[in-house]
């Protein structure tokens, strides 16, 4: 018995000894032999590396108004599996549809989403603002309190994830120019964002440190910190106000003609700084995934088209430069045989024997065949086309720039090039070329960037205009502009008369190019290109409408878009009207009042309101005070302007935009626009003539005034019918005007 006990004791002791021997051996192996491996494992557990995300650069317009920026976004995520298990479907749907402004069906579809018959564990609802985030968090807390009281796990299946995403505060404004970044990875996909991605995205930083087992940072001499280098900020040449004018005018025409697409570019012809660029259909870069991929295409830069008669400007300027154009010389219009084919004017039979200047105004194809094919000839014409930049890309800082082509090998093609066929161009090429005609003959590189700022150093780089070459002489530029002005000013013969702007000298050219088989003119690209004022060009604009649903030319469809954009822009800039044009306008309108005999508006700025009131009352001038200030900040009409009989002076006494909108009924559109522009209020106009109704609403935090206009004749007729109790027929007769392109 004792022997057995001793054996057991020895056995147990041996096992214990062996265990300790193995343990010591293992410790020795880990700490001595395999030391480096486990040291690395330990360091990996202690060391942390955190990526510090760089902010993407901000993009602004020329005045610093933000067009693209990094901003926090709050994404609501749902766990349909948890929501179902806790029987919260109805509660979640009801709460979120009120918090997020979404439909019942949309939320329910996400909250009950399945895959392979099983409830999903992750769905998301994007683009929520901070106020919505707070409401969602309140709903989450409420539901989880209910679950906790019921003895269940407090998980509502709702979460809010905070991220930094690219945000475009003006939504669709300048969408094609700006492009967008991918919502998942933040990678640049299109537009300016893509072209300058390397400079915009910056370089991420990092922080290396040691932590305890819970991940809490501990003091360490080995801590390494590399700050992020934020992306560069870009100030563009575009003006967001002009961009708005462009898109507003386009929208009206797009709804009327329902074309395949529309494109408009506006630039300063002296520098080729792009003031605005837009296409329709458009898209919102904040929700780009909701649109067709074709909607992202920037036709202004990437697409090519046959320009038609707008290309005649190049032929005209070239002929004038070579001293071949005599405006008073005559030719037989109608048709001409050249290059192995017959070229015809749009007017059947032509207009008889007419001068070349009349041919320019009527957009006679025959005139330009004679100028380009017969007088200039192939080589000189080709050289000028190349000089105007049509054989090379402009180099604009936007991706995907296209390149036009010229068919100038066969006579049959060469003979059609002078009036814009057998040649294709990009819109940006054409605007650069016509700007050279406007600015004294200088071909400028289109410029989209005005200034680049490095936020890490504060260093700023100013981008200067770039001259490519002198194409024609200043004298040729002046003469060409004068002839193109008559295309617009001649209300009887000029194809561009719909681009006429009262008080301003406008030069331009219409265009209509048949697509595909020239014998079938059911599909066409119609356009208008021009600039103003002629004597001191401030803005050049190209309008292109691809396949309007009506058989209309560029004069009827595109010129009014140009007219609206340019007239609003010149007023926005405060460009004074031409005195000679004012005189012509008054003669055309048969006004009997001589402006020079009308009283001039005094400069009332900085005067006390009480003093101004007393002065105007004494002079018998009607006025209206806007705002609660004690001194006059701004006024309309401006100092030095001529006062017409019964005209009212508006006195603005505050700088802010909170002033009450005055009663503008009876005012002309011009006066109403001037007052509202001074008040920094957006305006939408319907009709023509004088303000008959006005309505103020708020859209996306901005005041908008809708003005309904009515002609003086209709106003009188309406008043008369009101007195007699009769109804008037508002439908007038449309006067059909022939247009020749």
User: Tens digit of pLDDT for each residue in 606-647?
Assistant: 888 888 888 887 777 877 888 888 888 888 888 887 776 567
Output 150 or 57, whichever has higher pLDDT: 57
CB 327 within 8 A of CB 490: no
* Phi, psi for residue 452 in degrees, rounded to 5: -120, 130
Please say if the pLDDT value at position 344 is more than 80: yes
Tokens of 417: 């090039």
Measure the CA–CA gap between 266 and 626, rounded to whole angstroms.
Answer: 34
Measure the CA–CA gap between 241 and 239, rounded to whole angstroms.
Answer: 5
- Indicate whether 508 and 525 sit together in one domain: yes
544 bridge partner residues: 263, 527
Task: Write down the pLDDT at residue 521.
Answer: 61
Q: Alpha-carbon Rg of the chain, whole angstroms?
A: 36
Query: Average pLDDT of 501-524?
Result: 81
Tokens 């009450």 belong to residue? 660
CB 403 within 8 A of CB 427: no
295 is catalytic: no
Measure the CA–CA gap between 523 and 222, rounded to whole angstroms.
Answer: 72
Element (H, E) at 100: helix 89-100
- Indicate whether 525 and 669 sit together in one domain: no
CA terminus-to-terminus distance, the chain: 127
Please say if the pLDDT value at position 728 is more than 50: no
Residue 666 lies in a domain: yes
Task: Write down the pLDDT at residue 732.
Answer: 33
Query: Average pLDDT of 445-449?
Result: 97
Cα–chain-centroid distance for residue 722? Answer: 45
Task: Write down the pLDDT at residue 74.
Answer: 80
| CA quadruple 689, 690, 692, 693: dihedral sign | positive
Residue 380 lies in a domain: yes
- Indicate whether 107 and 120 sit together in one domain: yes
3-state secondary structure at position 109? helix
Boundary (domain end) residue, out of 638, 656, 674: 656
Percent of the chain with pLDDT over 90: 44
Tokens of 300: 């202004």
CATH assignment at residue 443 = 3.40.710.10
Residue 191 lies in a domain: no
Task: Write down the pLDDT at residue 500.
Answer: 93
Which residue out of 156, 261, 309, 477 is catalytically annotated?
309
Boundary (domain end) residue, out of 560, 586, 612: 586
Measure the CA–CA gap between 207 and 627, rounded to whole angstroms.
Answer: 54
Measure the CA–CA gap between 290 and 271, rounded to whole angstroms.
Answer: 37
Range with lowest mean pLDDT among 125-134, 139-148, 176-185, 527-536: 125-134
Closest CA relative to residue 548, chosen from 535, 560, 533: 560
Q: Give the model confidence (pLDDT) of 393-407 as tens digits.
A: 999 999 999 998 888
Judged by phi (left if over 0) then psi (alpha if -120 to 50, else beta), residue 65 lies in: beta
Measure the CA–CA gap between 576 and 479, rounded to whole angstroms.
Answer: 23
* Reported confidence tier of residue 287, pLDDT bands at 50, 70, 90: confident
Output 589 or 336, whichever has higher pLDDT: 336
Q: Give the model confidence (pLDDT) of 100-111 as tens digits.
A: 888 888 899 999
Task: Write down the pLDDT at residue 312.
Answer: 94
- Indicate whether 332 and 415 sit together in one domain: yes
Residue 93 lies in a domain: yes
Residue 349 lies in a domain: yes
- Indicate whether 466 and 609 sit together in one domain: no
Give the pairing type, strands 690-699 and 118-119: unpaired
| Total domains present in the chain | 5
Q: Give the model confidence (pLDDT) of 205-263 as tens digits.
A: 767 666 655 555 556 556 676 788 889 999 999 999 999 999 999 999 999 999 999 99
* Reported confidence tier of residue 576, pLDDT bands at 50, 70, 90: confident
- Indicate whether 561 and 668 sit together in one domain: no
Q: Give the model confidence (pLDDT) of 288-309 as tens digits.
A: 888 888 889 999 999 999 999 9
Give the pairing type, strands 649-652 and 623-626: parallel
Residue 561 lies in a domain: yes
Task: Write down the pLDDT at residue 567.
Answer: 93
Measure the CA–CA gap between 196 and 191, rounded to whole angstroms.
Answer: 9
What pTM was computed for the model? Answer: 0.69
- Indicate whether 560 and 599 sit together in one domain: no
Percent of the chain with pLDDT over 70: 83
Measure the CA–CA gap between 555 and 740, rounded to whole angstroms.
Answer: 8
DSSP for residue 189 = E
CB 60 within 8 A of CB 170: no
Range with lowest mean pLDDT among 35-39, 152-156, 401-405, 482-486: 35-39
Q: How many CB atoms lie within 10 A of CB 572?
A: 16
- Indicate whether 336 and 476 sit together in one domain: yes
Query: Average pLDDT of 377-381?
Result: 93
Please say if the pLDDT value at position 425 is more than 50: yes
Residue 105 lies in a domain: yes
* Phi, psi for residue 545 in degrees, rounded to 5: -120, 115
CATH assignment at residue 623 = 3.30.10.20
Q: Give the model confidence (pLDDT) of 527-569 as tens digits.
A: 999 999 999 999 999 999 999 998 888 999 999 999 999 999 9
Q: How many CB atoms lie within 10 A of CB 219?
A: 7
- Cα–Cα distance list, 131 to 135, 501, 532, 703 (Å): 7, 47, 47, 22
Output 180 or 203, whichever has higher pLDDT: 180
| CA quadruple 650, 656, 662, 667: dihedral sign | positive
Measure the CA–CA gap between 493 and 307, rounded to whole angstroms.
Answer: 21
- Indicate whether 560 and 681 sit together in one domain: no
- Indicate whether 608 and 534 sit together in one domain: no
Please say if the pLDDT value at position 740 is more than 60: no
Task: Write down the pLDDT at residue 687.
Answer: 64
Boundary (domain end) residue, out of 586, 615, 645: 586
Residue 498 lies in a domain: yes
Measure the CA–CA gap between 40 and 60, rounded to whole angstroms.
Answer: 49
Tokens of 258: 């329902």
- Indicate whether 444 and 385 sit together in one domain: yes
* Mean pLDDT score across all residues of the chain: 83
Please say if the pLDDT value at position 739 is more than 50: no
* Reported confidence tier of residue 505, pLDDT bands at 50, 70, 90: very high
Tokens of 74: 């709050």
Q: Largest Cα–Cα distance of the chain, in whole Å?
A: 145
- Indicate whether 560 and 422 sit together in one domain: yes
- Domain encompassing residue 254: 240-586
């Amino acid at each position: 018995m004792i022997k057995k006990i001793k054996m057991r004791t020895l056995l147990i002791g041996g096992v214990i000894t062996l265990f300790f021997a193995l343990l010591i051996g293992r410790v020795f192996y880990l700490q001595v032999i395999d030391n480096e491996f486990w040291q690395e494992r330990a360091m990996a557990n202690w060391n942390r590396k955190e990526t510090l995300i760089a902010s993407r650069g901000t993009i602004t317009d020329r005045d610093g108004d933000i067009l693209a920026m990094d901003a926090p976004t709050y994404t609501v995520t749902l766990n349909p599996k948890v929501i179902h298990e806790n029987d919260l479907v109805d509660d979640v749907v009801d709460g979120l549809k009120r918090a997020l402004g979404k439909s019942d069906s949309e939320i329910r579809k996400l909250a009950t989403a399945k895959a392979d018959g099983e409830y999903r564990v992750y769905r998301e609802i994007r683009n929520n603002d901070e106020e919505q985030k707070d409401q969602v968090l309140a709903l989450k807390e409420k539901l989880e309190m209910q679950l906790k009281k019921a003895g269940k796990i407090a998980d509502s299946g709702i979460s809010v994830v905070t991220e930094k995403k690219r945000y475009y505060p003006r939504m669709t404004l300048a969408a094609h120019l700006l492009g967008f970044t991918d919502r998942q990875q933040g990678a640049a996909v299109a537009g300016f964002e893509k072209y300058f991605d390397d400079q915009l995205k910056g370089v991420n930083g990092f922080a290396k440190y040691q932590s305890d087992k819970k991940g809490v940072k501990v003091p360490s001499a080995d801590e390494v910190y590399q700050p992020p280098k934020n992306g560069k900020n870009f100030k563009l040449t575009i003006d967001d106000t002009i961009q708005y004018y462009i898109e507003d005018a386009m929208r009206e025409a797009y709804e009327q003609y329902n074309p395949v697409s529309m494109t408009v570019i506006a630039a300063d012809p002296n520098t080729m700084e792009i003031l605005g660029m837009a296409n329709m259909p458009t898209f919102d870069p904040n929700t780009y995934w909701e649109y067709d991929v074709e909607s992202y295409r920037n036709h202004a830069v990437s697409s090519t088209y046959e320009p038609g008669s707008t290309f005649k400007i190049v032929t005209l300027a070239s002929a004038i430069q070579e001293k071949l154009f005599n405006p008073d010389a005559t030719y037989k219009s109608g048709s001409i045989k050249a290059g192995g084919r017959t070229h015809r004017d749009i007017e059947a039979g032509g207009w008889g024997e007419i001068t070349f200047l009349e041919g320019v105004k009527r957009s006679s194809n025959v005139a330009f065949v004679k100028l380009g094919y017969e007088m200039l000839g192939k080589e000189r014409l080709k050289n000028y086309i190349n000089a105007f930049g049509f054989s090379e890309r402009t180099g604009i800082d936007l991706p995907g720039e296209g390149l036009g082509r010229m068919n100038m090998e066969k006579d049959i093609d060469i003979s059609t090039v002078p009036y814009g066929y057998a040649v294709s161009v990009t819109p940006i090429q054409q605007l650069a070329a016509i700007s050279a005609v406007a600015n004294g003959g200088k071909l400028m590189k289109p410029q989209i960037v005005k200034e680049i700022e490095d936020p890490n150093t504060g260093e700023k780089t100013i981008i200067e205009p770039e001259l490519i070459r002198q194409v024609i002489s200043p004298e040729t530029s002046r003469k060409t502009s004068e002839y193109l002005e008559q295309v617009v000013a001649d209300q009887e013969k000029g194809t561009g008369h719909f681009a006429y702007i009262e008080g301003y000298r406008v030069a331009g050219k219409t265009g209509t190019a048949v697509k595909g088989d020239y014998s079938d003119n059911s599909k066409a690209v119609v356009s208008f290109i021009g600039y103003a004022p002629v004597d001191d060009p401030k803005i050049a604009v190209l309008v292109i409408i691809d396949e309007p649903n009506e058989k209309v030319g560029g004069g009827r469809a595109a010129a009014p878009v140009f007219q609206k954009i340019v007239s609003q822009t010149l007023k926005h800039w405060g460009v004074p009207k031409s005195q000679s044009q004012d005189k012509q306008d008054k003669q055309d309108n048969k006004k009997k009042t001589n402006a020079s005999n009308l009283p001039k508006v005094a400069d009332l700025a900085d005067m006390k309101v009480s003093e101004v009131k007393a002065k105007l009352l004494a002079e018998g001038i009607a006025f209206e005070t806007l705002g609660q200030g004690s001194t006059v900040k701004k006024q309309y009409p401006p100092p030095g302007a001529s006062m017409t009989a019964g005209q009212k002076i508006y006195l603005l006494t505050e700088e802010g935009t909170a002033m009450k909108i005055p009663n503008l009924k009876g005012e002309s559109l011009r006066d109403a626009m001037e007052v509202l522009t001074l008040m920094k209020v957006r305006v939408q106009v319907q009709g023509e003539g004088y303000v008959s109704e006005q309505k103020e609403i708020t859209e996306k935090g901005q005041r908008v005034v809708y003005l309904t206009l009515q002609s003086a004749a209709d106003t009188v007729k309406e008043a008369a019918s009101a007195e007699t109790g009769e109804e008037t027929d508002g439908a007038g007769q449309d006067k059909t005007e022939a247009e020749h392109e």
